Structure 1
Amino acid sequence: MRKNLEEHAAAYAARRVERYAWTGCAVVAPGFAMASGLGPHRVWGWVAGAGYAVAALLTSGSVPLRAARAVAVLGAVVVPLVGLVAAGLGQSEVTVVERSGLLLLTSGSPYVTDPVAVADFNPYLPGTALFGVLPGDARWWLGGAFVASLAAAGLHRARLLACPLVALPLAVGGIDLPVAGLMCLGLSLAGRGRPGRAGLTLGAAAALKWTAWPALPVALALIAVRRGGRPAVRCAAVGLSTATAAVLPFALADPAGFYRNAVAFPLGLSATASPAASPLPGWLLAEYVPGGTVIAVAFLSVGALLIALSLVVRPPSTVRAAAGRLALGLGLATALMPATRFGYLVCPLVLGALAHRAPHHATAVVPSVKKALA
C-alpha cells in the first residue's frame, strides 16, 4: 500500500513538473516570436507556442504524458517545419548549405575564394555540402541525421526534440543538429567498446563543423580507460583519417578560400562581420573591448587547454562522464567565441541529455580494465 502511494505521488510530481515546463515553453516561444526580427523565427514562435499550450493543458488532466509530449513535438517541430518548407522560408543556414552543395557540384569546392558579403561565406567544413547535394530541402536531411543519430545512441526522448533549443533549429534549419547527434552516437559507440565505429562516426561529425573535433579526444580518453591503448589508437586512426579525407583536399585545393570561410569568418577575424551575435561573454568582449577578439580567442584557448588537461589528469571512465565533460567544454566554447549565438548551445544541451541518460551498462569501468590500470 505504501509503495503504491509513493509511486502515485512520484507520478503526480512528474506530471506537475512537466506541466510547468510546457507552460514555460508556451510563454517563451511567443515571446521569442515578438522579439525576433526574422520571419521564420516568428512563425515558429507562434505555432510552437500553441503546441506547447495544448501539451500543458493535456498534462493537467489524465491524458498520458507520452501523448502530451507527442503533441509538443507535433506543434513545436512537425507543423512549423512542414509549413516553413512549403512556404520556402528558413534560416540562413539552409541557404548556406544548399549553396555550398551547388558550388561543390559546379566548381568542385563548397567555398567562394574571395567572399565579400555575408551571403558569400560558408563557415562550415566541406562535409556539410553533402546535405546541400541531396534532393529537397536540406532541413529534412539535417533533421533526419540528427534524429537517427539520437535513436542509435539510445536517446529516445520526445521531450528533447520538443525543447525550444532543439525544436527551433529543427524547424528553421541548423547545422549544429547533426553535429550534436553524431557526437552523441560516437561517444555511445566508444562506451560500447566499438572503437572503429566510434572513430568513423566522430570523423564524420568532424567533417561537418569545427565544434565536433573536441569529441574525438574525449572519446579516446574514454576508450583508453575502458578498453586500453590499442583500441584508442584504432579509434584515433579511423576518426582522423575520415575527417582528414573529407577536409584536407579542399583546404589544399583552395587554402585562401578555406581559411577565409571556415576559419577567419567564424572566429570574427575577417573584414566582414558574422551575423552570429548574442550577448555572450566572447561576443561582448569582441564588440565593446579594444582588442576584445584577441582576448576572447585567448580565453577560448585557455579553456580548451584546461579541458584537455582534465582528460589526462582525470579521464572519463563512463559515457555519462565523457558526455558531461564534452558538454562543459562546448558550453565554454559557445560562451567565449567572438562570433556566437544562443542557438549554439544545442550541442552542450544534447550532450547533457546523453550524460543524464547514458545506458547503465556504460557507467562503470570494465573489471579487466580496472585490473590492467591498477
Structure 2
Amino acid sequence: MTKNLERYVRRARRLRDERHVWAGCALVALGLALVSDLGPHRVWGVTAATGYAAAAVLARGERSRPAARAVALAGAVVVPLVSSVAAGLGQLEVAVVERSGRLLLETGSPYTADPAVVADVNPYLPGMAFFGVLPGDPRWWLGGVFVTALAAAGLYRTRLLALPPVALPVAVGGTDLPVVGLMCLGIVLAGQGRSGRAGLVLGVAAALKWTAWPALPVALALVAVRRGGPASARYVAVALSTATAAVLPFALSDPSGFCRSAIAFPLGLTDIASPAASPLPGHLLAVYAPGGRVIALALLAAGALLLAVSLVVRPPGTARAAAARLALGLGVAMTLMPSTRFGYVVYPLVLGALAYRMRQPRSTPAVLSPEVAAV
C-alpha cells in the first residue's frame, strides 16, 4: 500500500510539474508577443501562447500527457511555421541565408565584398549558404537537419522541441538549430568511439557557424580517452579536412568579403551595428564600460582557455560528460560575447538535455538507449 501511495504521489507531481511547465511557456510566449518589435515574433507569441495554454489544461492525467505535448508542439511549432512560411514572414536570418545562397550561385561566393548595411552581411561560414541554395524556404531544411540529427542522437523529444527557445527559432528561422543538432550527434558518435563519423559530423557543423568550433576539442578529448591516439588522429584528420574543404576555398577566393562578414562583423569590429544586442554581461560591458569590448573579448578568451585547460586536466570520459562540459562552456561564452542574443540559450539547453538524457544510475552499468545504440 505504501508503494502504491508513493507511485501515486510521484505521478501527481509529474503531472503538476508538466502543467506548470506549459503554463510558464504560455506566459513567456505571451510576454514576447507584447514586448517584441518584430512581427514574426509577435505572431509566434500569440499562436504559441494559445497552444501552451491548451496543453496546460490538457495535462491533467497520465493518459492526456501525450495529447498535451502534441498540442504544445502544434501550437508552438507546426502552426506558426506553416503560417509564417505561407505569409512570407521570417526574421532576418532567413533573408540572409537566402541571399547568401543566391550570391553563391551567381558569383561563386556567399559574401558581399563591401557590405554597407546589416542586410548585406552574411556572418555565417560558407556552409550555411547551401541552405539557401536548396529549394523552398530555408526553415524547412534548417529545422529538418536539426530534428534528424537529434533523432540520430537519441534525443528526439516532443517536450524539448516544444519549449520556447527551440520552438521559436524553428518557426521564425534560426540558423543555430542545425549547428547544435550536429554537435549533439557528433558528441554521441565520439562517445561511441566512431571517430571518423564524429569528425565528419562535427566538421560539417564547423563549416556552418563559429559556434560549433568549441565542440571540436571537446570531442577530441573524449575520443582520446575512449579510443587513444590512432582514433584521435583519424578524428582530427576527418574533422579538419571536412571543415577546411567547405570554408577555405571561399575564404581564399573572396578574402575581403569573408573577413568583413564572417570575422570582423561578429566581433563588432565593423561600422555596421549587429542586431545581436541582448542585454547580457558581454554586450553591456561592450556598450557601457570604457574599453568594455576589449574586456569582454578578454573574458571570452579566458573562458575558452579555462575550457581547454579542463579538457587536458580532466578530459570527459563519456558522451554525457562531454555534452555537459560543452553546454557549460557555451553558456559562459553566450553571456560574455559582445554581440549576443538570448536565442543562443538553445546551445546549452539542447546540449544539457543530451547530458540529462544520457544519465545513468550509479548502481547500474551505462547502457546506451536503443536510439543511440542504433546510430
> Is TM (by shorter chain) over 0.5?
yes
CA distance in 2, matches of 1:62, 1:282: 44
CA distance in 2, matches of 1:294, 1:250: 29
Cα distance, 1:333 vs structure 2: 1.0
CA distance in 1, matches of 2:63, 2:21: 16
**Inter-CA distance 14–129: structure 2 relative to 1 (3 Å threshold):** same
Runs of 4+ in structure 1 over 4 Å off: 363-366
CA distance in 1, matches of 2:68, 2:132: 34
Give the counterpart letter for 1:313 in structure 2.
Answer: V
Q: 2:278, 2:340 within 8 Å by CA — same for their partners in 1?
A: yes
Give the counterpart letter for 2:206 in structure 1.
Answer: A
1:153-190, Cα deviation, whole Å (9 max, x unpaired):
00021110011000000000000000000000000011
Aligned to 1:262: 262
Aligned to 2:351: 351
Give the counterpart letter for 2:308 in structure 1.
Answer: A
CA distance in 2, matches of 1:318, 1:71: 35
Q: 1:317, 1:365 within 8 Å by CA — same for their partners in 2?
A: no
Q: How does 1:227-238 map to 2 (within 5 A)?
A: 227-238=227-238
CA distance in 2, matches of 1:270, 1:294: 14
Q: 2:15, 2:62 within 8 Å by CA — same for their partners in 1?
A: no
CA distance in 1, matches of 2:90, 2:59: 31
Cα distance, 1:11 vs structure 2: 1.4
Give secondary structure in 2 for the equivalent of 1:269: coil
1:166-224, Cα deviation, whole Å (9 max, x unpaired):
00000000000000000000000111111100000000000000010110110111111
Aligned to 1:203: 203
CA distance in 1, matches of 2:285, 2:172: 29
1:131-154, Cα deviation, whole Å (9 max, x unpaired):
000000000000000000000000
Deviating more after overlay: 320-329 vs 6-15: 6-15
TM, length-normalised to structure 1 = 0.95
CA distance in 2, matches of 1:230, 1:4: 53
Aligned to 1:331: 331
Cα distance, 1:360 vs structure 2: 4.9
Cα distance, 1:267 vs structure 2: 1.1
Q: 1:190, 1:219 within 8 Å by CA — same for their partners in 2?
A: yes
Aligned to 2:20: 20
Give the counterpart letter for 1:57 in structure 2.
Answer: V
Q: How does 1:167-316 map to 2 (within 5 A)?
A: 167-316=167-316
Aligned to 1:72: 72
CA distance in 2, matches of 1:258, 1:69: 43
CA distance in 2, matches of 1:203, 1:2: 53
Deviating more after overlay: 55-64 vs 97-106: 55-64
Cα distance, 1:107 vs structure 2: 0.3
Q: 2:15, 2:61 within 8 Å by CA — same for their partners in 1?
A: no
Cα distance, 1:7 vs structure 2: 2.0
CA distance in 2, matches of 1:160, 1:228: 34
Aligned to 1:147: 147
CA distance in 2, matches of 1:167, 1:303: 29
Give the counterpart letter for 2:32 in structure 1.
Answer: F
CA distance in 2, matches of 1:107, 1:365: 51
Give secondary structure in 2 for the equivalent of 1:330: helix
Deviating more after overlay: 165-174 vs 265-274: 265-274
CA distance in 2, matches of 1:156, 1:126: 28
Q: 1:317, 1:364 within 8 Å by CA — same for their partners in 2?
A: no
Give secondary structure in 1 for the equivalent of 2:109: coil
Q: 1:226, 1:365 within 8 Å by CA — same for their partners in 2?
A: no
- The size of the alignment, in residue pairs, is 365
TM, length-normalised to structure 2 = 0.95
CA distance in 2, matches of 1:45, 1:63: 28
